[in-house]
Amino acid sequence: MPGLEDLYREIILDHYRNPRNRGELESPPAHRSEGFNPLCGDEIVVYLAADGTTIDDIRIAGQGCSISQSSASMMSAAVKGKTVAEARDLVKAFKAMMSIHEHELDGEDGAPEPAADTPELKLGDLEALRGVVKFPVRIKCATLSWNTLANVLNEIESASSRPQ
Amino acid sequence: MEARMSLDVARIKADFPILRRQVRDGRLVYLDSANTSQKPQAVIDAMAHYYENSNANVHRGTYLIAEEATAGLEGARAKVARFIGAASEREVIFTKNATEALNLVVKAWGRSHLKAGDPVVITELEHHANIVPWHQLVEEIGIELRWIPVGPDGHLDLTDLDRLLDGARVLSFAAMSNVLGTILPIDRLVAAARAVGAIAIIDASQYVPHVATDVQAWGADFVAFTGHKMCGPTGIGVLWGTEAILDDTPPFLTGGEMILNVTKEGFTVNELPWKFEAGTPPIAEAVGLGAAVDYLESVGMESIREHEVTLTGYALRTLTERLGDRLTIHGPAEPAERGGVLSFVVDDIHPHDLTQVFDQYGVCVRAGHHCAKPLMRSMGLGATARASLYLYNDEADVDALAAALESAADFFAF
């Protein structure tokens, strides 16, 4: 599609057509969080099974556009098997690629963070989503699943920091 | 088949400067008028002329340009009153938009007249502006909100209307759906409300710009609509109400302009319509709205409606022929029962992806839930793409949409 090559990269369309880790996990024991994009009605549900600090399994449910669906699919592949801390770094790195820093996000930590703090991580396939930045309306599509994942990670961390 | 066009659309297009704009090496194909309409040169000129020649505050200056500004505001009110068949200018209140007009009704009339348990009936196809204010009264007062369902054909399912209206204090509904284009059975609904002693409120935002409107013939208590969907500027809407119910409604926003007298002990409200217009009103916007009314009347509302019915029929046929089973258009199949609002989905392609591709062809179409989430949910839809037609659209615009749609459908095909 002329003019849209940067947005609809082949790998994005592949994840859209063949979404990875699609489905649900029984919750509990799995953690579950919903995310909404009020602009377009997209809904994402992230299910995450973590044994201790490692993400053993992740499933994505809900519906949305090719950008939100492929971003969720790539995200699920990227964080599966990672530790919660590593996943958190990926969230940060991905949002930085989307030109968003934590303090700009709804309901996020709040404290402004210097860009220099952003971890230099290999984003791999996720780099394909870099072109979304040129289409500002679609940034929310790309970050929907990541914000939802961040909520799940917060939940896991607050649960594990609770005295047993 | 050559559809009969009663409007000279080429001439009308020439009245709208933005339609001469080139985008992405092509012409602008604007199909989002249910969202906001484009503005004719006459409206743009009227507002510029006001600012260049008569800008002053209204109802207080003793000098020439202040008198001109006041005449501009009140002249626009008179034009709007005549345009919608109001009994007097006292019944026409300028607001910021239709949302503010509906909030005025719910919060000023509703809060002072409704009590816990009072049933308020709305429909599933309402815009959020006619839902959320009522939700607030559910929380604040404990009113009971009841919903008239929508059938799969896009029409209201009135099977249980009598039961739903039993004991109702309010029936509030859209004259035309902003998602499906459905024209509601206005006379029947108002009569049913009257029969149980409920007041009738009509959100006519999608209707007034497209169909000749006579609020007295409708016989409702309140009618809300907005200027920017009828070739007027943003920032001005209208609440029409009968004098009887407006007299019986306390002020909404308060401050300057809406008072006759203020003392340390209290205040006396102004007469209608200024009782509901606190603060400096949108004067240039009123002037622009008045020019929009003049423009629509010069074209003729009957001609506009006839053109849109014809063009909607052409669009329904063309899109169906070219996309076949891949395309689903929601809402009534019969053009005479609907406005030129076409909500559709193609295969499983998300509407956001469709409209992103449309943009490459200069085709402006909205994607999303169109501020009507309860309707979308009841129809089992997450989102739709919505093309909406107005007097300046023609068959070439519909053909451009069809070509963009084919291109998008091929691109995203599995």
Q: What are the residue boundaries of the structural domains of chain A, listed by start? A: 10-161
Query: How many residues does this entry show for chain A?
Result: 164
Pick among B179, B346, B352, B369 to test the A interface (most A CBs inside 10 A): B352
Beta carbons within 10 angstroms of residue B362's beta carbon: 18
B371 annotated active-site: yes
The DSSP letter of residue B108 is I
Pick among B349, B350, B384 to test the A interface (most A CBs inside 10 A): B350
Task: Using a CB–CB cutoff of 8 Å, tell me whether B320 touches chain A.
Answer: no
Delimit the domains of chain B by residue range.
9-30+301-411, 44-298
Residue with tokens 């210097």: A114
pLDDT of A106 reads 46
For residue A109, pLDDT over 50 is answered with no
pLDDT of A100 reads 67
Q: Which residues of A touch B411 (CB under 8 A)?
A: 1, 8
Identify the bridge partners of residue B199 per DSSP, sorted by sequence position: B170
pLDDT band at A101 (very low <50, low <70, confident <90, very high): low
Superfamily of domain B9-30+301-411: Aspartate Aminotransferase, domain 1 (3.90.1150.10)
Contacts of A157 (CB under 8 A, 6+ apart): A84
pLDDT of B368 reads 86
Residue of B nearest to A44 (CA): B382
Instruction: Answer whether B9-30+301-411 and B44-298 agree in fold.
Output: no
- Of B7, B365, B371, B391, the catalytic one is B371
Beta carbons within 10 angstroms of residue B40's beta carbon: 27
Per the model's pLDDT, the better-predicted residue between A37 and B367 turns out to be: B367
Contact B252, B276 (CB under 8 A): yes
For residue B44, pLDDT over 90 is answered with yes
pLDDT of B278 reads 94
Fold of B44-298: Aspartate Aminotransferase; domain 2 (3.40.640)
Burial grade of A154 (CB within 10 A; 0-12, 13-18, 19 or more): middle
Q: Once rounded to an integer, what is the mean pLDDT over residues A88-115?
A: 64
pLDDT band at A39 (very low <50, low <70, confident <90, very high): confident
CATH number, domain A10-161: 3.90.1010.10
Lowest mean pLDDT among A60-64, A117-121, B197-201, B269-273: A117-121
Interface of B with A in 335-374 (CB under 8 A): 350-353, 356-357, 360, 367-369, 373
CB contact under 8 A, A4 and B352: no
Q: Which residues of A touch B412 (CB under 8 A)?
A: 13, 66
